[in-house]
Structure 1
Amino acid sequence: MTKRKLPGKPLQVAARRRIVILGLVPVVALDVIGPAEVFTLANRLSGSHPPPYILDLVCSGSDLNLQSETGIALTAHRTLEQERRSSKPIDTLVVTAGFSPEQSLDRTAIEWIRTRSRTVKRVCSICVGAFALADAGLLDGRRATTHWGMARRLAELYPAVRVDANPIWIKDGNVYTSAGISAGIDLALALVGEDLGSDIALEIAKNLVLFLQRPGGQAQFSVSLQAQHGLSSKLEELRAWITEHLHTDLTVEVLADKSATSVRTLIRVFEREFGTTPAKYVEEARLEAVCRALELGGRSLEEIARRCGYRSVDVLRKAFARRLGISPKEYSQRFSVASEEA
């Protein structure tokens, strides 16, 4: 790993930001280590004295031994009880947990999160840490995400939360939620980008041997791959037909006619099998095709829009920005084969 600092003058940091990562035992180790590495690298690469971040790992248990689901223990800087008695300000609170979130929802920790959130600049969750934020009431009325495999459970337990299982991270006000495992690194990079600028965030990504930064709106997984699991032959045929006919008018009536069923039945099947509506599935399939075309390069945006079923480039740009949070041009610069080779 390189340790070179960014060229030019050291960053001017107005005040050090204290990042508190709260581990609700047992944690997913990478949910803790991934973001911690990002903030640590920001300190190394910033060139500022003192460095911009103070990083504290807090364990929800009775001692500093923060157990992880791998069986490998992490050592916290302090216990939650010690943190409760502390008067140190918190800039960013990052909540991590394990894959059985209901077992991690210690009432003392939840109440502390609820109370402390009133005085912190940003409140974040990694993966199923979103359950803790939801239980504390911080996600009520907000759009939020979590690991795709736990999204339905989050929506069932906390109906006031607008759960979106697709993005790798979401910002709603000063509350940030992220998807599973590696998405915590993407969220931490975004936070550093907000604080210190995109240049240092990109430099951190390179040091971590990541392919730059993934935008928050990037999907957690491929809609095509998701759709291939355990489908009936009839529905699999429709899925394949949609993929091959993205350039055509794919209304729900057209899809129902193609599958020889009623609109009502088709909507019910899509909700059951894909967890979404036919219209939203088609939109996801189109955007995924746009992403693939941008990654491969060699086609104009006008041609991509036509091939993927968009009436105009402007309609494509708006749909793309709404879903991924960046423009097609920015996506191409980050992810295209041509950009990688350059």
Structure 2
Amino acid sequence: MSERRVIVVGYDAAELLDIACVTTTLVMANTQGAAPPYHVRMVTPGGHPIVCGTGLTLQAQEALERVTGPLDTLIVSGGIGHRAAAGNRLIVAHVRRLARESRRVASVCTGADVLASAGLLDGRRATTHWQWADALAARHPGVTVDPGPIFVRDGNTYTAAGVTSALDLTLSFVEDDHGAEVARKVAQHLVTYLQRPGNQAQMSMYTATPPSDNALVRQIVDHVTGNLDADLASSTLAAGAGVSERHLTRLFLRHLGQTPARFVRRARTEGAAHLLASTSLPMSAVANRCGFGTTETLRQAFVDRYGIPPSRYRSTASTTRSGPAVPARHPGGQEPSGDVSSRASRRA
């Protein structure tokens, strides 16, 4: 095989980032030693230029109808125009045809709607952007839609959650095709924060909408995320807030949909994931800084949250494998409040 032919399908009102994350990553892989190299083409119906959802016009390199196999990878982009694309018989028919001639088939974000309309996701597990997951499941009951992961593989078919998850998906292709070292070099050149494993959640508490307009809940959430190694028992949090433990639980259930204890466990686990990916701290230090106390407690929480042990997560997601440790920071991007960092440093 002299090259890996990759076709990215675009259409009017497609999301530019869905396309660019794929094409840039693969072309970058060529500069980092991918052999055989990727030959990437962006195709559209009729080969016409498309107006992306952002209003920018993108030139096609080829007409969708004229593409023939065999192909290495077929990728359908998402975007606000996905419903029209999924209802376009020409697009759906040619995606179905090309899928039969492709080693690997994928979609980004709402591009899953096009794959589903082509019958390519029937009987499969798939994901899409969390905002569109319910609609995809309702329109295509034969598809098992999982809104949680950032990308899902089922056989030779891959679906990514949306927008920048296209970067994670494409980096996973590079690693599968050319090894972890090439993928790591590409990630470094793209200055991506980390290469996330597919089962990482789309939404974390650090990227989700602020939990509520309740001042007391906000205050406790800020305290928890800024002081992961402190005493965060529900009774302690309630006492610090001047309310009963029962009232605190009611507030958390009403505004966050979970108990204080579950929120604390999730905060600590996501904080540990951040440190594992961005630092070279020993596992025991990560456990201490995030309030787990022991590495076994950390391991149990990690398996419950991510389905893999922390050591596996670090080997997959770490951005520090070829360099010195990155100074630890609070997962929300700010230094912990008070003297938490100094206490943690002394323990580590």
Determine what percentage of the aligned residue pairs are the same residue.
31
Q: Is the 1:154–1:163 Cα contact (8 Å) retained in structure 2?
A: no
**Higher mean C-alpha deviation, range 65-74 or range 281-290:** 281-290
Say if 1:332 and 1:146 are closer, same or farther in 2 by CA, change over 3 A: closer
Mapping for residues 90-101 of structure 1, pairs under 5 Å: 90-101=71-82
Query: Using the alignment, how far apart are the partners of 1:158 and 1:279 within structure 2?
Result: 37
Q: Secondary structure at the match of 1:55?
A: strand
Q: Secondary structure at the match of 1:223?
A: coil
1:43 matched to 2:34: no
Query: Using the alignment, how far apart are the partners of 1:230 and 1:77 within structure 2?
Result: 47
Say if 1:262 and 1:168 are closer, same or farther in 2 by CA, change over 3 A: closer
Say if 1:238 and 1:258 are closer, same or farther in 2 by CA, change over 3 A: farther
In structure 2, the partner of 1:71 is 55
Query: Using the alignment, how far apart are the partners of 2:170 and 2:312 within structure 1?
Result: 21
Query: Using the alignment, how far apart are the partners of 1:63 and 1:333 within structure 2?
Result: 40
Per-residue Cα deviation, 1:145-174 (whole angstroms, up to 9, x for no partner)? 323333344344445423223x33222322
Q: How far 1:231 moved relative to its partner?
A: 4.3
Q: TM-score, normalised by structure 2?
A: 0.71
Query: Using the alignment, how far apart are the partners of 2:66 and 2:181 within structure 1?
Result: 36
Unaligned runs of 5+ in 1: 1-13
In structure 1, the partner of 2:21 is 34
Query: Using the alignment, how far apart are the partners of 2:47 and 2:287 within structure 1?
Result: 57
Mapping for residues 257-296 of structure 1, pairs under 5 Å: 258-260=245-247, 284-294=266-276
1:334 matched to 2:315: no
Query: Using the alignment, how far apart are the partners of 1:330 and 1:238 within structure 2?
Result: 33
Amino acid at match of 1:203: K
Say if 1:338 and 1:42 are closer, same or farther in 2 by CA, change over 3 A: closer
In structure 2, the partner of 1:8 is none
Per-residue Cα deviation, 1:245-286 (whole angstroms, up to 9, x for no partner)? 897778xxx9xx9454999x9878756xxxx89997665433
Q: TM-score, normalised by structure 1?
A: 0.72
What is the root-mean-square deviation in Å for CA atoms of aligned residues?
4.0
In structure 2, the partner of 1:161 is 144
Query: Using the alignment, how far apart are the partners of 2:3 and 2:281 within structure 1?
Result: 46
Query: Using the alignment, how far apart are the partners of 1:215 and 1:180 within structure 2?
Result: 15
Query: Using the alignment, how far apart are the partners of 1:298 and 1:17 within structure 2?
Result: 35
Q: Is the 1:216–1:324 Cα contact (8 Å) retained in structure 2?
A: no
In structure 2, the partner of 1:207 is 189
Mapping for residues 183-202 of structure 1, pairs under 5 Å: 183-202=165-184
Query: Using the alignment, how far apart are the partners of 2:123 and 2:263 within structure 1?
Result: 24
Query: Using the alignment, how far apart are the partners of 2:162 and 2:216 within structure 1?
Result: 32
Q: Secondary structure at the match of 2:92?
A: helix
Mapping for residues 57-68 of structure 1, pairs under 5 Å: 57-59=42-44, 61-68=45-52
Query: Using the alignment, how far apart are the partners of 2:10 and 2:92 within structure 1?
Result: 12
Say if 1:188 and 1:332 are closer, same or farther in 2 by CA, change over 3 A: closer
Amino acid at match of 2:76: V
Amino acid at match of 2:60: A
Q: How far 1:235 moved relative to its partner?
A: 5.1
Query: Using the alignment, how far apart are the partners of 2:79 and 2:55 within structure 1?
Result: 12
Query: Using the alignment, how far apart are the partners of 2:54 and 2:256 within structure 1?
Result: 36
Amino acid at match of 2:16: A
1:54 matched to 2:39: yes
